[in-house]
Chain A
């Protein structure tokens, strides 16, 4: 399978715990995006990388959120001190330059 992969697919955590998600993009894609999708809504942009550089962060990305893409390959998204409002599907997408974005299956986070 050469598509975008995400791990884990599901995560249940207690409020206040830290969680980390991983995204592996399509191998030749230099751009990587993170989105968040809550129930009944379209995805909302969080942040994106071109190679290893984080070029833009949404206002949705509070200081409890941090994303990295070391060496321009896989990316991680960490949420510290999770809150119930963080419960959502976290989607990763990748693209080659300005081409179409291809999405992974998402990580569904439930904060109890």
Chain B
């Protein structure tokens, strides 16, 4: 079974500063993927970034980077230069690479960017 834990229900960050959203996971699968999604108040889940368990380098997508520490089973999301539009719920998720790609989500972190 897979489990995702997000221990920060809410976070505040000042505009233009960087923020780290925590995510730890647990799985017995040898190969897996880790994802971050953003959910604005409109409700739509927006894919942000993906990290494969065998990827040697941390994933980056624009202002988003994933700090992957396999031994610690953590996959934290770093958002650089925060913008007001970054205010949203952020969900960490994972899936197995053994064919079943259904995502297991954490409970989310609400990020509020302050001007």
Contact = CB atoms under 8 A, between A and B. Distances in A.
B79 interface: no
B106 A42 contact: yes
A18 to B, nearest CB: 24
Contact of B101 (A44, A95, A108): A95
Contacts of A105: 42-44
- Most chain A CB within a 10 A radius of its CB, from B50, B97, B105: B105
Nearest to A4: B44
Contact of A100 (B42, B44, B47): B47
B33 to A, nearest CB: 8
B35 A100 contact: yes
Contacts of B44: 103-106
Contacts of B35: 100
Nearest to A106: B43
Contacts of A95: 101
Given A91-B45, A108-B43, A101 B101 contact: yes
B90 to A, nearest CB: 10
Interface residues of B, number: 22
B104 interface: yes
A42 B102 contact: no
A56 B43 contact: no
Contacts of A55: 100
A33 B107 contact: no
A93 interface: yes
B103 interface: yes
A21 interface: no
Contact of A45 (B37, B47, B97, B102): B102
Nearest to B100: A56
A109 to B, nearest CB: 13
A58 B107 CA distance: 18
18 contacts: A35-B103, A42-B91, A42-B106, A43-B103, A45-B103, A48-B102, A56-B102, A58-B102, A89-B43, A95-B101, A98-B97, A98-B101, A100-B47, A100-B50, A103-B46, A105-B43, A106-B43, A108-B43
